[in-house]
Structure 1
Amino acid sequence: MCGIAGIFKRDVQQQPQPQQLVNMVAMMSHRGPDGFGYQVLPECGVGFSHARLSIIDLNEQRARQPFVSENQQVMLAVNGEFYDFQRIRADLTAQGVQFRSKADTEIALHLYQRDGLEQTLTQLRGEFAFALYDRALDTLYLVRDRFGVKPLYYAETESGVVFGSELKALFAHPEVPREFSSEGLFHQLIQVMVPGTTAFAGVQQVPPGHMVKIQRAQGQLTISQSKYWDMTFPTSHVQDTDAAMEQEYVDGVREKLLEAVELRLNADVPVGCYLSGGIDSCAILGLAAAVSQNPIKAFTIGFNSADYDETAIAKEMAAVTGADHHVMSLSGEELYDHFVDTLWHTERTIYNTLGVAKYLMSQQVQQAGYKVVLTGEGSDELFGGYPSFRLDMFKHGLAHLPAAEREAWQQHLAESNQLVKGAMLAREEWESAALTAKVGFTPSCLQPWLSCSELAMPLLAPAHRDQLQGYDAGQAIADTLDASMLADRHPLDKAQYVWIKTMLEGQILTWGGDRVDMAHSMEARPAFLDHHLAEYAATIPPHLRIKGKREKHVLREAMRGLLPDTLYYREKFAFMAPPAHTDPHKWQAVQQLARHYLSAEAIAEAGILDAAEVQRMLERYGDERTSAEEKVQLDAMVNHVLGVQILHQHFVATDVPKVAQQRAEELGWCA
């Protein structure tokens, strides 16, 4: 829930302007349309602001943020949810703590005062990003949840540090530069980001499971970063074939997932579920329905392409659970009709219009009167669900099997995932020397995107190509990975860890999650990413996560009684929208966007792409002789070049501070 923003000045005597703080959250009022708050601590050179989506404690005045301690020493602004907060609140109350609100988020303020930040973080359970200022230490802390479900960005300016839940909140401040970095632009074209970075020069993300500490002394700011949690796999796994041990893991997953779902059903507003045709969302709906007193509202995205549509299975699951089922059916051209608006929210490029579909679905959830849904994100990351995980398991984790058997399994995997080859799986094996040196092999999840490097580089304008001479995207990503989390781990553990650090945070939880969900003031709660469940899942032996050719084996068994047989036996299918080349109406919609954003004039004005190379790529994509596999890859590249041009229009060519001021005035949000 919510959006936060703030300013921390180098000079303690320079007070942030209250209206500037309000303008910053006004730019992301979609994150919190139910009210706003701001606070400037006197003689501290620091101010926070907050846009609120009321989910727990609907009293806007009582629960308004930022929270400030009674002694005016500590200030806190939170985006997100803390689960199990009632227990912590009761404990603090018994010790004499007085609460101002009934909101879950206030517990962080009092925990910090009692236990300090390090111990506070061990007690917080949920999806969150928060800013905390301690006057006694003259220090600002920026903290992000363990997996990065909630976003948090910051930038250093001439006068201090600016932070916010979205880039547009930072860009509302006139001192924050609004220009692409050459590296950031390049990574937008190849889909995979360097963890902790953005497309824009000077703007960084707080990495998942990290805190950024900004200390002020004598007009100088010292910025440091530290990790408080990581996805830690055991250094050795035992190939235990004892059936009793397998059942223990099955029972453990069921118990911990049920607890995670129950906690996330807690709200002062109705809670629904997203429902696709996959095991993950079906398991969440099944558990939610089992513990709920009322039918659960379920929301499903359908496509008018039989190859990509999962509506039939979703309907079967909805019927089994007695859910109140809402299906949104989308045609190809509808997705590109909303492509530009979606990118204003994602603030990065997207390779597939699934992000647009989820943007439109969150709108329908809002129109149905819901602010909260439970989702299935995180299951594949924990239980080895993606085809790239099975490929790495077959190639690197089953050395004891005959080569012919492993090759047969790889062939089956390629055939069953033909539709996503070129996106979820690389067209051909591709190696990064830097990643192989760090991980032991180049994870299959990164190969489709890093292999686009040779396609992407010519698409950049000459000035950016010159800046990238000798740049190695694989090396840049490898440099961010913690070697101690990879050493002595099973190949499947390594593959999952790399995905969690790259694709989960940079794609699934960003343009496939928070940013398109919150575009319509709708909070998604991914129960699988409960860190208690995640820590348990890491202990499951790899051969039980992927048993033979079967992915997510333990989860399937844990949920067997809840799932229809159709789903229990179904192989993982990557949920994505039909690419443009599969639908003539969609291809026409792409061409219409290209005429506007990829014309020679538009490209020359932005100065970030090479018009001739872009035109050659579009012709190749539209050529009937181009293979289907290559078209899947080119479809992603076309979306990316459209994306960078649209991002330029949204955030570089547009006077964002002026737009922010106008938006605040329209909302009536005045300091």
Structure 2
Amino acid sequence: MCGIAGVFASRKSQPIDSQTLVNMAAMMNHRGPDNYGYCNPADMGVGMSHARLTINDLNESRGRQPFWLDGGQTMCVHNGEFYGYQRIRTDLAAQGVEFISKSDSEILPTLFRHCGINETLKQLRGEFAFSLYDEREDCMYLVRDRFGVKPLYWTQTQNALIFGSEVKVILAHPDVTPELDSEGLFHQLIQVMVPGTTAFKGIQQVEPGHMLRITRQDGRLNVETHKYWDMDFPVIGTRDTKADDYYIDGVRRELLEAVQLRLNADVPVGCYLSGGIDSCAILGLASQYSQEPLKAFTISFDNADYDESEIATEMAESVNADQEILTLNADLLYNNFARTIWHTERTIYNTLAVAKLMMSQQVRHVNYKVVLTGEGSDELFAGYPAFRQDMYLHGMEGLDADQAIEWRRSLETSNALFKGAMLPKEEYASADLDSKIGFTPSCLQPWLGCSDHARQLIHPEHRKNLVDYEPGTAIASKLDSHYLTQRHPLDKAQYVWIKTMLEGQILTWGGDRVDMANSMEARPPFLDHKLAEFAVQVPPHMRIRGSKEKYVLREAMKGVLPETLYKREKFAFMAPPAHTDDAKWKKLKALLNKYASRDQVEAAGLLDADYLESLVTKQESDATEVSDKVQIDAILNHALGVMILHHHFIERDIPTYAYEQAQSMGWVV
């Protein structure tokens, strides 16, 4: 686990500055504090750098990247983990291949040399992002894992393509000017992002399951985008009809293997543990493979409506886990809000991101570097209330009258805390999403429903650029019709969530960015692509049965989960919003005064100061409905986040700051 960066110039004769590469690595020292390396051969027009967190092969000299192999024909840097790499190494060794390290990363250039990029990608299993340069074709590849667990950003300047694990790494290059563009700003205020985009003008993400192939021609760069994997739900009518046990046994088998693979490390591995069945299932399965009690890390909130620690403790005790509970209050959540935005590089609607950052800090405090997590379960097995709503509205086949009544009742009464955030406060429809999908997925409606607020909150100069802009249209344009046509409504809803909320939120400010802020690697077994390829075959009625979500997973985990958890309804994991607690509201207002005063807002030219003040006033009114307060709380967090982004990345001279960071660590070349 680590951070990667690099530059690919438009001409081979263009030198790549060594100190710039080192500065880029220094900007992500939190991702890899154990070592660093860089490589920029003369007359190649390519350079890469790497900040290393040692997980596999703890020998600092052997595992150092970039790898520069094949007599100088292949250069690569890798972030993440390749699982099952031992088998690949054994197979290659039988063909006479010699390795210089015990690192999983070294299989990448070796596989590429033997079978090319397409066959290599088929053999890679895990969470990863990498760059690979092939001198024979004078070609650079940028590749991101199938779900986007690991980040990879890129931009083009006049003379080069620049990439890195974080936006700040790219901004450390002196040829990149930081700017928040109108569309990116708009999406920061409504939470949901257009796949592949960022808040920053000209800076994009390699999309999950995609690779970029970059070549040089006559002093110009040619960038081709290729998809190598996607969630391929079967066309309606093509699923084989199997007995329930086939799917239950299959989920258990595939998840067991995914967990077992992710326990492999040269350092201790712990587990995140909430009160949901996802993390509890992971802890239960992992405990079966461990001879010693596993370490379990739990977040506790000072609000009983949002706290799950009691149920998590029941699970920890059932497997004799050594549980660490971190209790978070207003001071801890809001005192670390700005630090969290530095790492997420995008706004957050809820302080859950701060809570996750504080938890990863606690994990490192007790000398752990790796945890298994439960992310991805809801995406594979339809665990969110929005999925149940879409299946009820658009996929009622298979339900009798009593089931339909029960389902409607459950939708009206469950998860009331999250109305306006997790569930739409009122219906919102996008014509282009309706056209491509057949309906506007419920998971997008709460955020698209904030569009009117966002248009009024955005600065008039940016508002002019958005007169004809429709966020649903922009999102629809990035969804692949091939994987939506003739699919069941539940399949469509899950596919859209995976392409938007999973990658842009859960795996970003709820995952990698706040985990790696404290040099901690999180491994999500549910996002193993072999498990996912089995999960798409599970019929809708086995994912949601009546009003019970994740039915197939619950049945697969019988005997692993305590009875309380087996029967428990899905509860969205969120931190208590500011409006629920006077202390939290005062802390949020203090942050708004610090970063988003009228003078600061007007000087930045990003937000409308009058409308921001009106939202604060409305939030303090007793006449404002609770569902409105939930929505306004999210919008205020986004507005605060926008101003902190401006503070961190626009007002600050990032290249100079990066060099100062390198100097402070002795990374001067």
TM bucket, shorter chain: over 0.9
- What is the identity, as a one-letter code, of the residue corresponding to 1:170? I
> Retained in 2: the 8 A contact 1:308–1:577?
yes
Query: What does residue 649 of structure 2 align with?
Result: 651
For 1:479, the equivalent position in structure 2 comes to 477
Equivalent residue runs for 1:103-502 within 5 Å: 103-237=103-237, 245-399=243-397, 401=399, 406=404, 409-502=407-500
SS in structure 2 at match of 1:352: coil
What amino acid does structure 2 have at the position aligned with 1:370?
Y
How far apart, in 2, do the equivalents of 1:443 and 1:514 lie?
26
For 1:110 and 1:399, locate their aligned partners in 2 and report how far apart those are by CA, in whole Å. 50
1:23-81: CA deviations, max 9, x gaps? 00100100000000000122110000000000000001110000011320110100000
Quote the residue 1:52 is aligned against: 52
Distance 2:398 2:561 in 1: 33
Task: Give the structure 2 partner of residue 606 of structure 1.
Answer: 604
Give the partner amino acid of 2:330. Answer: G
**Which amino acid is 2:211 matched to?**
M
CA distance in 2, matches of 1:14, 1:145: 30
Would the aligned equivalents of 1:238 and 1:541 in 2 still touch at CA under 8 Å? no
Change (3 A) 1:98 1:636: same
Q: 1:444, 1:323 → 2: CA distance?
A: 37
Distance 2:597 2:50 in 1: 40
Amino acid corresponding to residue 166 of structure 1 in structure 2: E
Residues 568 and 400 (structure 1 numbering): CA distance in 2 closer, same or farther, change over 3 Å?
closer
Structure 2 gaps of 5+ residues are none
Match of 1:526 among 505, 521, 524: 524
Distance 1:326 1:305 in 2: 19
Q: Distance in 2 between matches of 1:548 and 1:406?
A: 8
Structure-2 separation of matches of 1:128 and 1:467: 36
With normalisation by structure 1, the TM-score equals 0.98
Alignment of 1:609-624 (within 5 A): 609-624=607-622
Contact persistence 2:280–2:312 (CA under 8 A): yes
Alpha-carbon distance between aligned partners in 1 of 2:111 and 2:390, rounded to the nearest angstrom: 42
Secondary structure of the structure 2 residue equivalent to 1:41: coil
Alpha carbons 1:197, 1:204 under 8 Å: kept: yes
C-alpha distance in structure 2 between counterparts of 1:412 and 1:87, whole Å:
48
For residue 579 of structure 1, the aligned residue among 577, 580, 589 is 577
Does the aligned pair in 2 maintain the 1:597–1:642 contact within 8 Å?
yes
Q: Quote the Cα distance in structure 1 between the aligned partners of 2:465 and 2:223.
A: 27
- The whole-number CA distance in structure 2 between the counterparts of 1:563 and 1:488 is 36
Rounded Cα–Cα distance in structure 2 between residues aligned with 1:432 and 1:99: 53
Quote the residue 1:667 is aligned against: 665
Per-residue displacement from partner, 1:454-497 (whole Å, max 9, x unpaired)? 11101111110001111010000000000010011000000000
Cα shift at 1:622: 1.4
Which deviates more from structure 2 when the two are superposed, residues 106-115 or residues 328-337? 328-337
* Aligned Cα root-mean-square deviation (Å): 1.2
1:17 corresponds in structure 2 to: 17
Please tell me whether the aligned partners of residues 403 and 546 of structure 2 are also in contact (alpha carbons under 8 angstroms): no
Corresponding residue number in structure 1 for 2:89: 89
CA deviation after TM superposition for structure 1 residue 670, in Å? 2.2
Distance in 1 between residues matched to 2:571 and 2:601, nearest whole Å: 37
Structure 2 distance, partners of 1:58, 1:353, is: 35
Contact 1:598-1:614 at 8 Å conserved across structures? no
Aligned-partner SS, 1:56: coil
Find runs of 4+ consecutive structure 1 residues off by over 6 angstroms: 238-242
Once residues 403 and 506 of structure 1 are traced to their aligned partners in structure 2, the CA distance between those partners, rounded to angstroms, is 38
- Tell me the CA shift for residue 401 of structure 1: 4.2
CA distance in 1, matches of 2:514, 2:214: 30
Verify the 8 A CA contact 2:196 2:205 in the aligned structure 1: yes
- Aligned partner letter, 2:648: H
Instruction: Give the residue type in structure 2 aligned to 1:551.
Output: E
* Structure 1 residues 565-596: Cα deviation after superposition (integer angstroms, max 9, x where no partner): 10000000000000101011000001101111
Relative to structure 1, is the Cα distance of residues 401 and 250 closer, same or farther in structure 2, using a 3 angstrom cutoff? closer
Letter in 1 for 2:87: R
Q: In the alignment, is the contact (CA less than 8 A) between 1:237 and 1:490 conserved in 2? A: no
Contact 1:18-1:40 at 8 Å conserved across structures? yes
Separation (CA, whole Å) in 2 of partners of 1:402 and 1:548: 9
- Give the whole-Å Cα distance in 1 for the aligned partners of 2:181 and 2:615: 23
- Corresponding residue pairs, total: 669
Report the Cα distance in structure 1 between the residues aligned to 2:65 and 2:647, rounded to whole angstroms. Answer: 33
Please name the residue that 2:565 is paired with.
Answer: 567
Contact 1:274 1:299 in 2 (8 A): yes
Within 1, Cα distance between the matches of 2:602 and 2:147? 39
Please tell me whether residue 536 in structure 1 is matched to residue 550 in structure 2.
no
1:600 CA displacement: 0.9
Could you list the per-position Cα deviations for residues 510-540 of structure 1 after superposition, in whole angstroms to 9, with x for gaps in the alignment?
A: 0000000000000000000000000000000
Measure, in 2, the Cα distance between the counterparts of 1:480 and 1:410.
Answer: 32
**Superposed displacement of residue 404, structure 1:** 8.5
CA contact (8 A) 1:517 1:524 kept: yes
1:276 partner letter: S
Please state whether the residue corresponding to 1:633 is helix, strand or coil: helix
Q: Distance in 2 between matches of 1:605 and 1:141?
A: 41
